[in-house]
């Protein structure tokens, strides 16, 4: 074994430059994915709200111009068959297979008052008021979701 030819290799400086360039590219690209995720969640939220609101209008049409009474019977009145008064029956419905999930909270529960808690505790996916012109809204801490 003698001194042979030295194999070509990268220097430490060259490797550091490549790592820095990859870090800069990652810093630019990664935030774009999180923005796309939020946009997809917002689109899903809008679609879910549109679907539920359309089914509420159909419910009202078939139930003597009345919306579901409150959140305690809301889910049952929309996901099961009911009579003209909204009680369990066989005349109308179901309007939804299940209450859709709010993509921001990951839950399906419904309250009659808006519950916003910074820690996420006791936060419902939706809130429903038959007296509200929009009937059902997404419950979220971000202000722009309240206007959907």
Q: Where are the domains of the chain?
A: 12-141
Q: What is the pLDDT of residue 133?
A: 62
What φ, ψ does residue 143 adopt, rounded to 5°? Answer: -60, -35
What is the mean pLDDT of the segment spanning 60-78?
Answer: 83
Residue 45 has pLDDT above 70, yes or no: yes
* Cβ-based neighbour number of residue 129 at 10 Å: 17
CA distances to 10, 16, 26 from 19, rounded to whole Å, are 13, 5, 10
Q: What is the pLDDT of residue 103?
A: 87
Q: What is the pLDDT of residue 127?
A: 81
CA distances to 38, 73, 81, 102, 129 from 106, rounded to whole Å, are 13, 21, 26, 6, 21
Tokens of 56: 């509420």
Q: How far apart are CA 115 and CA 93, in angstroms?
A: 29
Q: What is the pLDDT of residue 117?
A: 54
Closest to 105 measured CA to CA, from 148, 139, 133, 66: 139
pTM over 0.85: no
Q: What is the pLDDT of residue 20?
A: 95
pLDDT tens column, 85-143: 888 888 888 999 998 988 888 888 887 765 555 555 556 778 887 777 667 777 665 54
Q: What is the pLDDT of residue 147?
A: 55
Peptide bond into 94 cis (omega under 30): yes
pLDDT tens column, 6-37: 778 888 999 999 999 999 998 888 877 777 88
Q: What is the pLDDT of residue 17?
A: 95
Q: What is the pLDDT of residue 69?
A: 76
* Cβ-based neighbour number of residue 77 at 10 Å: 25
């Amino acid at each position: 074994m003698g001194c042979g030819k030295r194999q070509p290799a990268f220097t430490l400086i060259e490797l550091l430059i490549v790592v820095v360039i990859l870090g800069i590219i990652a810093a630019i690209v990664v935030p774009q994915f999180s923005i796309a995720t939020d946009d997809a969640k917002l689109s899903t939220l809008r679609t879910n709200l549109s679907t539920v609101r359309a089914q509420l209008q159909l419910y009202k049409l078939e139930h003597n111009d009345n919306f579901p009474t409150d959140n305690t019977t809301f889910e049952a009145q929309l996901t099961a068959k009911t009579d003209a008064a909204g009680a369990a029956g066989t005349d109308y419905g179901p309007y939804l297979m299940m209450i859709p999930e709010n993509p921001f909270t990951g839950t399906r529960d419904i309250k009659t008052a808006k519950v916003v808690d910074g820690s996420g505790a006791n936060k419902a996916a939706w809130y429903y008021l038959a007296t509200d012109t929009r009937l059902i809204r997404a419950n979220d801490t971000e202000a722009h979701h309240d206007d959907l």
